[in-house]
A and B are shown apart, each in its own frame.
Chain A
């Protein structure tokens, strides 16, 4: 589970021009992987506390992955819930030939895709006035609410126009810091396809971001 891949220099608080070295998930602590496997096998044998530990350990990562597939954080929450329901049901069929994290990523992908299809089918129903909620969902934490709104704006701004695959690849490589080959391994794509999707995504996103800048408009004529 890696979070912010962009580094900041410690002394001045100014952002370092050089970005930090990418941590390879292959070189992750072997002990942690062994622990994950042990948790999965315990949970598969019916130990609910092991499953709770597994959820506690992977919930932030799964939620982060879900964010890139979802339109907003609330949808990401739903996807996260669905991922752990599926994980619990598939514990018995888990093969220990890969990391638990990669397996959970695949489960997240499938769950997100399926939920999106379901939502699209139900979209027509949601358009009817009776189906709309009267009030917004109230969040008790105002700070958290602001963060979630910002996240929703970021998702919409960055990813709105991107196809799902490009969005996924851009997020994995440029925002989460995985290498293209690691992204390829996770998504099941060829590294060449990952790079092609990455270039397309960068082009779309950066052109969108830069389009508002006058000097860019001047230069790009």
Chain B
């Protein structure tokens, strides 16, 4: 037989609907007026609650409700379209503003960065600094651009100019380094001429040399 405490514990969490007349709780309630009263109280309260909630009709007329729902839904749909179009217009506006204001501003700052002058020393393998200066001089024209020739005889040229000018100077110097007229090749050419002249001179001396075989001596002054 169930005790009152067990019955209360069962009532606290058990399902009143599932308690049949032969369930332990109901059997206990049949013999215990207190628990029976509590069970009835609980059942009454829940019954009343269900009854009130289930029997309460909605106030609005279903036809009116349906019409209002359709109208509201359509209005919201239009509202959504308007919001989407406004969003799209906002995006386009931002894009145009960016295209007309922000991007040019960024470009101009990029141009400014491009115009910043740099200094670079280019080493020369074959060209003399003067020759290199002759080659690059027509291209170093922007304001502030210039080049420096070393005075200590070192084989290099220092160029100050925009990155474009520096790149052009490097290309030109690279292009003319193997040139036949470059400074490092000039002595070879002169030497060839000298050798030719010497050979001619030597051939003339042999023809006028004495039979005795003595070396000719310089005429006495």
Whose C-beta in chain B lies nearest to the C-beta of A145? Answer: B59
Interface residue from B4, B20, B52, B63 paired with A219 (Cβ < 8 Å): B4
Q: Is B31 an interface residue (CB 8 A)?
A: no
Task: Tally chain B residues at the interface, Cβ within 8 Å.
Answer: 48
Partner of B49 from the list A73, A89, A158 (CB cut-off 8 Å) is A158
B72 within 8 A of A: yes
Q: State in angstroms the CA–CA spacing of A64 and B63 once bound together.
A: 18
Contacts A19-B17, A210-B42; is A81 near B54 (CB within 8 Å)?
no
Residue contact B65 to A154, C-beta cutoff 8 Å: no
* Contact of A77 with B53 in the complex, beta carbons under 8 Å: no
Question: How distant is the Cα of A76 from the Cα of B21 in the complex, in angstroms?
Answer: 37
A207 at the interface (CB under 8 A from B): yes
Inter-subunit contact B54/A17 (CB<8 Å):
no
Query: Which residues of chain A come closer than 8 Å to B16, judged between CB atoms?
Result: 19, 174
* A84 close to B11 (CB less than 8 A): no
Q: Do A207 and B12 touch (CB < 8 A)? A: yes
- Chain A residues, CB < 8 A from B41: 209-210, 213
B1-46 contacts to A (CB < 8 Å)? 4-5, 8, 11-18, 20-21, 26, 34, 37-38, 41-43, 45-46
CB of B148 closer than 8 Å to a CB of A: no
Q: Does B66 contact A (CB under 8 A)?
A: yes
- A85 and B76 within 8 A (CB): yes
- Cross-interface CB contact of A15 among B43, B62, B63, cutoff 8 Å: B43
Q: Main SS of chain B's interface residues?
A: helix
In the bound complex, what is the Cα–Cα distance between A177 and B58 (angstroms)? 20
Q: Name the one of B14, B21, B50, B70 contacting A88, with C-beta atoms under 8 angstroms.
A: B70
Known A-B contacts A64-B53, A64-B54; A174 and B63 likewise in contact (beta carbons under 8 Å): no
Q: Give Cα A87 to B26, complex, Å.
A: 45
Is B51 an interface residue when CB atoms closer than 8 A count as contact?
A: yes
Determine whether B153 belongs to the interface, using a CB cutoff of 8 Å to chain A.
no
Given A5-B50, A80-B58, are A59 and B65 also a contact pair (CB < 8 Å)?
Answer: yes
CB distance from B53 to the nearest CB of A (A): 6
In the complex, what residues of B have CB within 8 A of residue A206's CB? 11-13, 42
- Would A151 and B47 be within 8 Å (CB), given that A59-B65, A60-B58, A215-B37 are in contact? no
The answer, yes or no, to whether B57 is at the interface (CB within 8 Å) is: yes
Bound-state CA distance A139–B60 (Å) is 12
Looking at B11, B45, B53, which has the most chain A CB atoms within 10 Å of its CB? B53
A86 to B151, CA, bound (A): 88
B55 CB-CB contact with A under 8 Å: yes
B69 on the A face (CB < 8 A): yes
Q: How far, in Å, is B145 (CB) from chain A's closest CB?
A: 65
Determine if A6 is an interface residue (Cβ-Cβ < 8 Å): yes
Complex Cα gap A22–B18 (Å)? 10
Q: Which of A18, A77, A209 is close to B21, meaning CB atoms less than 8 Å apart?
A: A18
The answer to whether B60 touches A202 (Cβ under 8 A) is: no
A150 close to B (CB within 8 Å): yes
Q: Decide: A89 near B77, CB < 8 A? Known: A55-B69, A59-B62.
A: yes
What chain B residues lie within 8 Å of A51 (beta carbons)?
A: 66, 69-70
20 inter-chain pairs at a CB distance below 8 angstroms, sorted by A residue, are A19-B18, A48-B66, A48-B70, A55-B63, A56-B63, A60-B57, A63-B56, A64-B53, A68-B53, A76-B58, A77-B60, A80-B58, A85-B72, A139-B59, A148-B59, A174-B46, A175-B49, A175-B53, A202-B14, A210-B12
| 10 A-B pairs with the lowest CB-CB distances in the bound complex, closest first | A84-B69, A63-B58, A55-B66, A52-B66, A56-B62, A19-B17, A88-B73, A175-B50, A3-B54, A215-B34
